[in-house]
Amino acid sequence: MQRARTYADVNAVVGGYLRDLAFAQSSQQKMFGYKRAADAILSLDTPLTDLLGPDGALPRIPGIGPGSMRVIREILETGASPTVEQAVERSERRTDIQRRRELRRHFLSRAEVRRVLTDSSFDGPTVEQYCGDLQMHSEWSDGAPTVEEIADACVERGYQYAAVTDHSYGLRIAGGMSMAEAAAQRLAIDSVNARYGGRFRLLQGIEANIDAAGYLDLTDDEATTFDIVLAAPHSKLRKNDDQTDRMLTALQHKAVRILAHPRGRISGSRAGVIANWDVVFESAAQRGVAIEIDGDPARQDLDFTLGRQVLEFDCVFALDSDAHTTGQLSYAETALAHARLAAIPIDRIVNCWPLERLLAWLSDPSSECSR
Ligand SMILES: [Zn+2]
């Protein structure tokens, strides 16, 4: 069942080297240039090896200057970049760059995501089996779109349902919604649902913040006003101490249905929460709480390696985009790719259930508890 990956994610390798090179720069301007180049490669739809012409030449790639192009050629020819290694050696930030390298493990490039989605040798969910996305942000917190724009974009992607999950009031930094704003948002969502007349259902969710002790920034009464409650950590994400108790406390809140971006890691920046995940997953399985694979390219949290571990506890999963624009709804595909690499059966993925089963689980999570 566990398939070793025998294929190098060349764009992820190149993107990583370009980020190393960015941090080795003493000029801010050059640093930003190489960071932009790394982002351009990581978000390409096609692996660089497929872009090579018969003469071995690469086409022009938007956002890639001559310095980055030299690095790319080195990597395609030799698998490594002596240019970057030398720049890192000479740099005063060598130790920091080594640390950042460790924090890029198990991240997929966009090209690799697309490859995994179309590779029929994987057993996990397909794009066609994905019925709706359960984490995204609107103008009511730190997202850009209106709830109407979100619904239209989700319908265009073929979804049967979706949940708008703005931040709750405890996370002021992300424009968290007051309960009065949440009541007004509910009216806007009701009118979207009236417009679609049963062809599509928009749920009102909330991304509650898990505080340092594991408590949520919502009372029980407040939580019951939402169709779905996600709980996610946004603080203490750079600590080395064990936070198993914090995560277990969050799972005890009876309204929580999804543990969202469980670690809070960010590619090349921070590892996020450190915990005994076996204990956390076992508790989630007993309570019927879904463990999320967050598809934001910088998060990819959980990734496929921990996804396989969750599977052993017979948890349910949520695969979400964490989109803040309608364009970012495609991030759900990153989550789907990790689920395929972890061979998660569609029966265990809440986003692959018909609306009736999803709603039944939301009203009684024990209906999907592990045996
Ligand atoms: Zn979040």
13-56 tens-digit pLDDT: 999 999 999 999 999 999 999 999 999 999 999 999 999 988 88
One-letter identity of residue 131: C
For range 245-263, the mean pLDDT: 97
**Exposure of 201 by Cβ count < 10 A (0-12 exposed, 13-18 middle, 19+ buried)?**
buried
Span from the CA of 116 to the centroid of ligand 1 (angstroms): 26
Span from the CA of 6 to the centroid of ligand 1 (angstroms): 33
3-state SS, residue 133: strand
Check residue 370 and give its pLDDT: 62
Span from the CA of 194 to the centroid of ligand 1 (angstroms): 29
Span from the CA of 9 to the centroid of ligand 1 (angstroms): 27
Span from the CA of 88 to the centroid of ligand 1 (angstroms): 33
Cα separations in angstroms, 215 against 174, 233, 236: 18, 10, 14
Span from the CA of 233 to the centroid of ligand 1 (angstroms): 7
pLDDT of 147 over the 50 cut: yes
For range 152-167, the mean pLDDT: 98
Span from the CA of 260 to the centroid of ligand 1 (angstroms): 7
Span from the CA of 53 to the centroid of ligand 1 (angstroms): 42
Span from the CA of 17 to the centroid of ligand 1 (angstroms): 28
Q: What is the pTM of this model?
A: 0.94
| Count of CB atoms situated within 10 Å of the CB of 79 | 10
Non-local CB neighbours of 26 within 8 Å, separated by 6+ positions: none
pLDDT digits (tens, 9 = 90+) for 163-210: 999 999 887 777 889 999 999 999 999 999 999 999 999 999 999 999
